[in-house]
Amino acid sequence: MRDLLRANQRETIAFSVLVALLVSYLATHPAGPTTYVMTIWANQCLILALAAIAQFFAVIVRGIDLSVGAIMALTNCIASYLVIGTGVEMTFGIIAVLAAGVGCGVLNGLLVVYGRIQPIVVTLATASVFVGLALLLRPTPGGQIDYDLADALTLDVLDVPTALIITVAVIGLIWVPLRRTGLGLGLYAVGSSEQAAFQSGMPVAKIRLASFALGGLFAGLAGLYFSLVTTTGDAGIGPNFTLNSIAAVVLGGVALRGGVGTLTGAIAGAFILKTIGALMFFSGLPPLAQPFVEGLILAAAIAIGGADVLRVKNKLEVFGR
């Protein structure tokens, strides 16, 4: 057990902090630890967690995706048109939403891999395009999502928030198998050293392209789940989720230099960030001061990640001499 905790030290710290914050939040909330309170909390956390997973797949291969929020906005607006009607129509709508997310991710990956442009530049440019498309679809917030589907995926099952069940399913059905595949190992290899991965015979280009495609898929899932929670489409949701997704992966122990961290850590970081926001709301902190404090937390998280990158870079330069 000691070796297991040492090997997963970053994630252990993140989950320990999350538990402490959650206990404080539930103790502070006027209604206490009711199913309703937990469901609202879990829904908000899952939206950011899916966005953080999208960011994780870019960061783990030593990139960064500034279009996560924009893809969420676009898929959210698409969902507000298509995820309604009969069962067949809703199924088609969900597939179309996720396909749009994957398409956005693949476009980012193609420009990064074959255009040989830095990810931060590519995703900053494509984010503007995706937001523009979202605004064309929804100049003002509106649309509708099937209420029965929304209730089924955002309420609870036997007093357990459905969002928590979905979170466990993502970890158990996607991450656990993926990290043991060639693609999962390749993501870490490319993030640790792209040159070494290439010399080992790994298809570096395909791995990086797959990482952005997976990022687009999960950004699409985040946009879809946001649609289910709000039952509307809104083209203006992007900027906050992009910044928060970066902060979440850093808080979850994912290194911005690439090759270090896990998807479960990114999820924990997202839950931590949302729990801090919820805790401040009920802590008596003046409403006007809350954005300031949240901004400080975000800035500190990103600064820690940036400092980690610089420290490794400086070590490499010293060894290079």
Q: Is the pLDDT of residue 51 over 90?
A: yes
Segments forming the whole domain that contains residue 205: 2-320
Alpha helices in the chain (DSSP H): 2-7, 9-28, 35-59, 68-82, 87-113, 119-137, 147-154, 162-170, 176-178, 182-192, 194-199, 204-230, 238-251, 263-282, 290-320
More confident residue, 298 or 186: 186
The CATH number linked to 223 is: 1.10.3470
Q: Is the pLDDT of residue 226 over 50?
A: yes
Q: Is the pLDDT of residue 312 over 70?
A: no
> Using 50, 70 and 90 to split pLDDT, how confident is the model at 253?
confident
Number of domains observed in the structure of the chain: 1
What is the pLDDT at residue 278? Answer: 85
Beta partners for residue 233, in sequence order: 142
